[in-house]
Structure 1
């Protein structure tokens, strides 16, 4: 068939990046959102999402993508992805109400021969339960990674599609569209696809947790985890892309949601899921490593001044969902805090004595301790001697080992990191 016209409904992070990626593959794309003001900003090129390469990709493919808020425009589309971000609370529970409403709107206005695909992350059983008579509804596993969304949307390593009948062929519009990405397509039953996404995140969570547990033990026996991890990545059973860098637990909300989903499903069906519970508990423990160390080392100072480098939950994104930095700052409300992040404003922080710094060195000036809470690349270029010259105290906590430990200690800093004594 000729190239289908494609729509993405829900112009949040997932939907916007996916829509621009589809346009870059040569398809005519509608970016639909019921919020008129939001659509007007997007039409004017004002993006609310910060992703490397997204501005350029949109500019280069602007002739193939239009933004609209009138659901009647969906009737001109052969393939419609329903792709709003699904928010989660602090316990990893999803709020599916906005997705429910948008999916209902799309199925009401789409042509009966159009294929509708749920791209948002949902619990097993969701897609089948929301099928309407006379409508073609599929599910596709989203691959978005904050900070790498454009790369993941344009060059997926594989595409996983949930089908109401996994033995039959994919609808022509969907098949033609997916072929443009030149990667393996794995069709399976709806529930299997929904559970595949959850399983991926649980595997990632176990890798992250194991790396944290082993790195902490490595420091106690006099080893250096930075020497151990490369050896593990050369083991084919583990792999060079494994998550083996210790850090402050699991952030971002998506993996936490899937841990919570597995625990909920396990309770409902009477299965054993204590390893998953242990992963969630370990993540909470890791997030408090900085706080525990600060409390121990600064207990002799009445009102220590803290410098925080990084507010985003990870580098290359402005997302602060489950950010270790925000969790830390919330627990030291009695301390003055000065913070710097390349993308995130301190306006997102609830703290009575927080001040915004214009640079990393300004954030560490006259502080008793510094915590590097997000592994932004620019922090790797900081010179330990310059940090030492600006600080009042000596304590620097660098969980992601952005500074060179030897240089930091040579500069007179009381330098702490994960994975090495």
Structure 2
């Protein structure tokens, strides 16, 4: 196949779907010097994007988009993709509360995009899809169809898009060299390329997330044991990371279960596939059970240490997003905690998520985190935003009505918290009562 390229000798790259995935990925491609066409059927959205008004919160993304404005074209005209040598399908795939994907929108988008492409253009599926999805697309010749594994992480998406550890590419036949245009684009990122069968690439993404969840489950299971027997999980983690079989980058921080939707989707996919093919997925079900158990830690602890003892207590909450540096609340442990305490009065703060997202009858929002503490009997830090790490425990103690602080992610220095007189609770640590408390 003859490879058509732009006048500058580089392929013109298109992205269909201007959600978090599409915007971050398109901006990173533009930053590598490629003319990039960004399509969405939403004319209002593309108009705002043209003005630099981004619908997502992501550190570094505003600068990345504005710095590449001359190479980024935002359009609601499907015909704009006809100028592209390859087009990514890059819309986020929605999931329900059980992690099941709704593939209807992506199938409709593919159908529309294929009809607008020039005959020799490539189509690359960048969305998270179950194994078998890409090969089932029959509207594109196999030699012009690829699947690329996306490994973005909310809050660190720009860094991961710009500097990937490797690129995993699903192909109809991995023994056939990649199309020169696609290879030229991927080579610009300077990382190893791993071509493989469509199904292998689709499952590779799931395998990565399963390994991540297994580490989270180990951390959550053993950190809870630490709380019961007097051990300190933070003392154990360095020993694990120095083991070459585990590694210094291992994700071993305990948390309030898995959240955000992406990990849950992959676990649901494994369970569905195992049921269909008669394989065993008991360990995956155990991970989900463990996640739900740890998700409820904050609600159970605040009941035990405060609400069971004081009727009408007020609790301050810092953080509603499912993690720091994102506006997403998908499967947020913070919102799950509030929902389990429907009769409690909360005063909440989040840097980007409004209090209305809590949908709680007794939750009110404030603009300053210390303001939330006035008159509150306890503080729960349920999203580890960087803004909260710079607030000293002494300032918290001076503003908080009570002494109780639940800090599952270890945002505060626990020794400083105790010196400040706070009754401090965190994951993986035995509780040490403050002097004079019961």
Bin for the TM-score computed over the shorter chain: over 0.9
Q: How do 1:360-371 and structure 2 match up within 5 A?
A: 360-371=369-380
CA distance in 2, matches of 1:385, 1:50: 30
Is 2:220–2:254's contact at 8 Å kept on the other side of the alignment? Answer: yes
CA distances 1:95-145 after superposition (whole Å, capped 9, x unpaired)? 111111111111111112111000000000001111325462110000110
Higher alpha-carbon deviation: 84-93 or 347-356: 347-356
CA distance in 1, matches of 2:234, 2:71: 46
Partner of 1:106: 113
Partner of 2:132: 125
CA distance in 1, matches of 2:413, 2:82: 57
Partner SS, residue 135 of structure 2: helix
TM-score, normalised to structure 2, is 0.94
Cα pair distance change 1:133/1:148, threshold 3 Å: closer
Shift of 1:225: 1.1
Is 1:131–1:137's contact at 8 Å kept on the other side of the alignment? Answer: no
Q: How do 1:120-199 and structure 2 match up within 5 A?
A: 120-134=127-141, 136-199=144-207
1:397 to 398, 406, 409: 406
Partner SS, residue 157 of structure 1: coil
CA distance in 2, matches of 1:34, 1:138: 23
Stretches of 4+ aligned residues off by more than 6 angstroms:
none
Shift of 1:364: 1.7
Could you tell me which runs of 5 or more consecutive residues in structure 2 were left unpaired when the two chains were aligned: 431-438
Does residue 115 of the first structure (1) align with residue 149 of the second (2)?
A: no
Is 2:114–2:140's contact at 8 Å kept on the other side of the alignment? Answer: no
2:252 to 244, 257, 274: 244
Partner SS, residue 128 of structure 1: coil
Is 2:30–2:71's contact at 8 Å kept on the other side of the alignment? Answer: yes
State the superposition RMSD in angstroms. 1.1
TM-score, normalised to structure 1, is 0.98
Does residue 410 of the first structure (1) align with residue 432 of the second (2)?
A: no
Is 1:21–1:154's contact at 8 Å kept on the other side of the alignment? Answer: yes
Partner of 1:312: 321
Shift of 1:349: 1.7
Q: How do 1:322-361 and structure 2 match up within 5 A?
A: 322-361=331-370
2:19 to 9, 12, 15: 12
Could you tell me which runs of 5 or more consecutive residues in structure 1 were left unpaired when the two chains were aligned: none
Partner SS, residue 310 of structure 2: coil
Shift of 1:219: 2.4
Does residue 254 of the first structure (1) align with residue 257 of the second (2)?
A: no
Partner of 1:276: 284
Higher alpha-carbon deviation: 185-194 or 303-312: 303-312
Partner SS, residue 107 of structure 2: helix
